[in-house]
């Protein structure tokens, strides 16, 4: 495969040191129905100084310690930590990935996937409410752990049941910053518009996955390999209902862990994915 890191701002690991241990991370493919047949997905452009700077990615980031606190189950509508951990093949702590996914989506895209007390999907109802939630978002982006307080204060629960588990990628060993990232897909609430945060992400767009891949091939849109492969996995659907129904039906035990491998061959960087010829030899 082509080197998906070319053009993106990445830090390479010291080849004389042991590979770094991957940190837990979560990412969400926010989707909505396109104006014509098909779906659109939300992408944000990473700031030039950030990891993968210049590349368009899905909203997401590291799982924070607060995401895995016991009380998060009380402010979530969906399966228990035990059930979600089983889905991921983990003994415990699975809920933290779902919580991190929703939190990061809110921080990076300004879209909150949550329910109101009456069970309806959260959408700001007026200017005052929008202002309050902009302030909550700003506090989260400043590093304040206010997610639990926000939910209790505003009578919300995190809509973890609206996320479908999609994929698991581990950053290759050649990179200094490594993540074990769980990818999810979710329908974007109709009353909220995505907007990049202006700090970690400097641009954003809604785009059909087929068009994003076409632009990538034409050199018009910088995408990294996990983004490319996950975009490919949501191509060809007529609407978001069809997409979510299909992805929700996948047996999570059949979702593979994908860790690309890169190495030098005849002076060129070569990358392989699991299943490629020669992958197990490196």
Q: Which residues of the chain have pLDDT under 50?
A: 1-7
**Structural domain boundaries enclosing 120:** 23-281
**Can you give the pTM of this predicted structure?**
0.91
The pLDDT, as a whole number, for residue 10 is 65
Judge whether 130 lies within some domain: yes
Judge whether 5 lies within some domain: no
Judge whether 40 lies within some domain: yes
What is the CATH number for 242? 3.90.79.10
User: By C-alpha distance, which of 89, 4, 98 is closest to 52?
Assistant: 4
| Number of C-beta neighbours around residue 97 at 10 A | 29
Judge whether 16 lies within some domain: no
User: By C-alpha distance, which of 101, 99, 81, 100 is closest to 91?
Assistant: 81
The pLDDT, as a whole number, for residue 201 is 76
Burial level of 278, CB count in 10 A (0-12/13-18/19+)? exposed
Judge whether 75 lies within some domain: yes
Judge whether 4 lies within some domain: no
As for how many domains the chain has, the answer is 1
Which DSSP letter does residue 12 get? B
pLDDT tens-digit map of 34-86 = 998 899 999 999 887 766 778 999 999 999 999 998 889 999 999 999 999 99
Judge whether 83 lies within some domain: yes
The pLDDT, as a whole number, for residue 3 is 45
Judge whether 6 lies within some domain: no
The pLDDT, as a whole number, for residue 25 is 97
């Amino acid at each position: 495969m082509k080197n998906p890191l070319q053009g993106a701002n990445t830090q390479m690991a010291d080849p004389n040191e042991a590979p770094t241990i991957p940190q837990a991370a979560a990412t969400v493919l926010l989707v909505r129905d396109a104006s014509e047949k098909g779906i659109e997905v939300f992408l944000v452009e990473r700031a030039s100084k950030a990891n993968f700077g210049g590349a368009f990615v899905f909203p997401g980031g590291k799982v924070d310690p607060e995401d895995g606190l016991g009380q998060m189950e009380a402010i979530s509508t969906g399966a228990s930590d035990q059930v979600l951990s089983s889905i991921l093949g983990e003994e415990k702590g699975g809920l933290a990935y779902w919580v991190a996914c929703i939190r990061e989506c809110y921080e990076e895209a300004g879209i909150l996937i949550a329910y109101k007390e009456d069970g309806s999907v959260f959408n700001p109802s007026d200017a005052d409410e929008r202002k309050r939630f902009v302030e909550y978002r700003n506090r989260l982006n400043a590093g304040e752990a206010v997610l639990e307080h926000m939910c209790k204060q505003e009578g919300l629960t995190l809509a973890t049941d609206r996320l479908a588990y999609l994929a698991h990628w581990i950053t290759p060993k050649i990179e200094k910053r490594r993540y074990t990232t769980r990818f999810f897909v979710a329908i974007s609430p109709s009353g909220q518009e995505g907007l990049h945060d202006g700090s970690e992400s400097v641009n954003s767009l809604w785009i059909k996955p087929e068009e994003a891949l076409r632009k990538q091939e034409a050199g018009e849109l910088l995408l990294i390999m996990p983004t490319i492969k996950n975009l490919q996995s949501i191509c060809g659907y007529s609407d978001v209902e069809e997409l979510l129904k299909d992805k929700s039906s996948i047996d999570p035990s059949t979702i593979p862990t994908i860790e690309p491998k890169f190495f030098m061959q005849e002076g060129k960087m070569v990358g392989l994915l699991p299943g490629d010829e020669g992958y197990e030899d490196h």
